[in-house]
Structure 1
Amino acid sequence: MSIRRIVFGSLLCVSGLLQANDITGVWKTIDDQTGYSRGDVTVVKNADGTYSGKLTAIRPLPYKPLVEICVKCKGKLKNTPLVGFEIMRGFKQDSKNPMEYSGGTVLDPLSGNVYKGKAKLSSTGKRLSMRGYIGVSALGRSTTWIRAE
């Protein structure tokens, strides 16, 4: 085996580990009540070091019509198309535990409500547990997002 193959293989392994420690990328959102994917969110790291995410695709639940606008949102967000809609913003990676993110907000496009948010990335980097809450984290709801391949 040549030294080039060893170096190239090592670089691929390291790049895979780096991606697993970051929430950037495309995530399939999973409805916590039905288990179906509701849409895709693309998460980016902003210049200020925070993370935000926009809906880039939406899907209907079986036997329910597809909702394409934020009907229950308030103010200027009311009736905004969901595709392109920023549903998470201001998340910061924890310096002590780089698999956890907090300090952000999450908007639920079905209820129109904005919640405080936190997220935890799985050790494999393939699942993201998103928690939206009011006041304290115990008063909230969690959903799982799955990294799109």
Structure 2
Amino acid sequence: MNTKIMLSILLLLSCPFIHAKTLDLAGTWKAIDDKTGYARADVVISKKDNGSYVGTITQVHAIPNRTAIEFCEKCTGTLKNAPLIGLPILSGFKQNPKKSDEFIGGQVLDPLSGHVYRGKGRLNARGNVLTLRGFIGTSLLGRTVSWIRVD
């Protein structure tokens, strides 16, 4: 009888470890336009050796009744008029050591406006939706978009 109880307790205690998974941003994501609901681009996010993440546009999607843009006309510096394909739009995000589903300390480039924003993100429990918030100053003054994992 004691063996069954001990085995049951051991099984119950190990359940969280069975279902625990490492949440990772690396992969291909569809960037969804928060105003239209259409996919704007595919972005590949990869993890660098220092643990930070970088995201690059790999495909641009046309939105019905809108002129498609191919270049970052409003960007500044070396990114001015850079092609959207290959454009780095996320950088510096690191996993929050206190909350494994949060990614903090990053920057987000909006290729439509050319602005670079501070950013943070959160993955849902399944790891297939990234809620990304770009902001200036405090996160209260910002914009939130959702990206859907493709792979």
The structure 2 residue matched to 1:63, chosen from 62, 65, 78, is 65
Other structure's SS at 1:63 match: coil
Q: Does 1:88 align with 2:90?
A: yes
Rounded Cα–Cα distance in structure 2 between residues aligned with 1:53 and 1:138: 24
Following TM superposition, where does structure 1 have runs of at least 4 consecutive aligned residues deviating by more than 2 angstroms? Answer: none
The code of the aligned residue for 2:49 comes to A
How far residue 60 of structure 1 moved from its aligned partner, in angstroms, is 1.3
Other structure's SS at 1:53 match: strand
Match of 2:31 in 1: 29
* Structure number with larger C-alpha Rg: 2
How far residue 122 of structure 1 moved from its aligned partner, in angstroms, is 0.3
Q: Does 1:47 align with 2:49?
A: yes
The code of the aligned residue for 2:79 comes to L
TM-score relative to the length of structure 1: 0.86
Match of 1:7 in 2: none
How far residue 66 of structure 1 moved from its aligned partner, in angstroms, is 1.2
Rounded Cα–Cα distance in structure 2 between residues aligned with 1:75 and 1:147: 30
The code of the aligned residue for 2:76 comes to K
Rounded Cα–Cα distance in structure 1 between residues aligned with 2:78 and 2:58: 20
Match of 1:143 in 2: 145
TM-score relative to the length of structure 2: 0.85
How far residue 17 of structure 1 moved from its aligned partner, in angstroms, is 3.5
Rounded Cα–Cα distance in structure 2 between residues aligned with 1:96 and 1:118: 14
Q: CA RMSD in A?
A: 1.5
Deviations 1:61-115 (A, max 9, x none): 1111210000111122110000000000000101110100010100000000000
Other structure's SS at 1:76 match: helix
How far residue 146 of structure 1 moved from its aligned partner, in angstroms, is 0.2
Rounded Cα–Cα distance in structure 2 between residues aligned with 1:35 and 1:17: 29
